[in-house]
Amino acid sequence: MVEALERSPDGGATLNARDIMNRPVVAAAPMTTARDIAIQLLMGGYSGLPVTDRSGAVTGIVSELDVIRAIRAGKALESTTAEEIMSREVVSVDVGASVEQVMELLDTKHFVRLPVTDEGKLVGVISRPDVLRAFIEPKFMTFS
């Protein structure tokens, strides 16, 4: 991983994963059907969903491409589970990871999104647009 610390766009304190991640995060259970995942992807505007166990530990990720591959393979989405189609080798970042570390992974590994964990439990997701937003919109604030 890159050791350099990233300055925030306004020159202030270091930006970390916790500062730019999306939350609350939607995750699928291993037995969620591919059909339900596809609906969640479409309705939520997501390109992929983490798959977690009941404790919140990330066990996989299902992307749009995983669902498309299931369709192409002739699998019935109503009976195919996340566990059957998910990518199992998931790379995640800790909430304290610098934005530079996040960008390094997105770039070198060609990831679209990264799960964010705190003590091994899913707490958020960072996608490419989240990184761009941190640098393009540093003067805007969102309240929820």
Give the tens place of pLDDT for each residue, 26-51.
999 999 999 999 999 999 999 999 99
Cα(106)–Cα(132) distance, rounded to whole angstroms? 12
Strand-pair partners of 14: 7
In the structure encoding, which two tokens stand for residue 46, read together? 């997501």
DSSP 47: S
- Predicted local confidence at residue 142, as pLDDT: 62
pLDDT at residue 4 in the model: 30
Which domains can be identified in the chain, with CATH numbers? 17-136 (3.10.580.10)
Instruction: Give the pLDDT score at 103.
Output: 97
